[in-house]
A = this chain, B = another copy of it.
Amino acid sequence: MKSKKIGWIGTGIMGGSMCMHLLKAGYEVYVHNRTKEKTDLLTAQGAIWCESPTRVAENCSTVFAMVGYPADVRSVILGPDGVLAGMAPGGILVDMTTSEPSLAFEIFTRAGQQKIAALDAPVSGGDIGAREGKLAIMAGGERDIFEACLPIFEIFGGNIAYMGHAGAGQHTKMSNQIMIASTMAGVVESLLYAAKSGLDMDEVIDIIGKGAASAFSLNVLGRKIAKQDFNPGFFIKHFVKDMGIALDEARRMNLMLPGLSLVHQFYLSAMALGYENLGTQALYKVLVGLNRMDS
């Protein structure tokens, strides 16, 4: 990057940690967030507050976004106060929100019309990965732009990959979430069966968690289920958003994904039951309820 100035939009749990890493690495960071108070820790460390994404982009030739939902991405990038309204030609725009592949392509196209380069670069690794600077980053867009951004990605990323054209980063993240969705059904049903048949869940994970059934979801989230710990590592409400995007994209491609579709239904029940702010392992509580078991 030519400049040490970077713009950052979205300073929630993920974005806030990532932005803090940039400040500590010596970058001059211009920040905006819908709720201003969530930038306080960053401005205390030297970040410069801007009233809108447009103002951020007027100050920086490289701007990152990490917001919540696709509608937020659309607003902060394409909206009347958005990044593209303020960025000069030659700029780089990187959206790290998990969002729609088709929106990533739309942003890439609209940015290109202003001679602005765009990457979609969603992450995996959650709040802990963000805090520790060890996120997985999966990027789509032009390869030379990816390479130009790599020194920044390396500040908060551990496992960083260029996946292809615009949208490829989002598609990769969807592949990740599709894998996790059915795997969570496997974890929950396996432990439900174990409990119902009188086994100790931890003893079951001890023996099955090392072989062909081994999975992060079993060995980390399954252990939480065994402890009745339903606190969020990853919120159900965010996972439901991601599965909805994957199902929309699959529908657009006429792609039948029966496992994802089923698991999405049970997570919708989790939402209906008021579990939106619990961790994804609280899918267990949905199936416990349907089976009238003690949780």
Q: Footprint of B on A, CB under 8 Å? A: 101, 124-126, 129, 136, 138, 159, 161, 163-165, 167-168, 171-172, 174-183, 185-194, 196-200, 203-204, 206-208, 210-218, 234, 246, 249-250, 253-260, 262-263, 266, 287, 290-291
Contacts and interface: CB of A to CB of B under 8 A. Distances in A.
Given A172-B204, A175-B208, A185-B259, 12 more contacts: A136-B211, A138-B207, A138-B208, A161-B207, A171-B199, A176-B208, A176-B213, A179-B186, A186-B259, A196-B253, A254-B291, A262-B262
Nearest to A186: B182
A295 B34 CA distance: 46
Contacts of A215: 179, 183, 214-217
B194 A171 contact: yes
A218 B258 contact: no
Most buried by B among A172, A204, A259: A259
A198 B172 CA distance: 10
A217 to B, nearest CB: 7
A203 B161 contact: yes
A101 B192 contact: no
- How many copies of this kind of chain does the complex include? 2
Nearest to A207: B161
Nearest to A171: B197
Contact of A186 (B159, B186, B198): B186
Contacts of A164: 198-200
Given A185-B259, A213-B216, A216-B215, A250 B175 contact: no
Contacts of A129: 211
Nearest to A178: B190
8 contacts: A164-B200, A171-B193, A171-B198, A175-B194, A179-B218, A180-B212, A197-B249, A213-B216
Closest A-B pairs by Cβ, 7 of them: A182-B186, A185-B259, A215-B215, A179-B190, A171-B197, A179-B213, A182-B185
B256 A159 contact: no
A50 to B, nearest CB: 32
Contacts of A192: 255, 257
Most buried by B among A192, A211, A216, A290: A211
Given A179-B187, A186-B180, A212 B125 contact: yes
Nearest to A161: B207
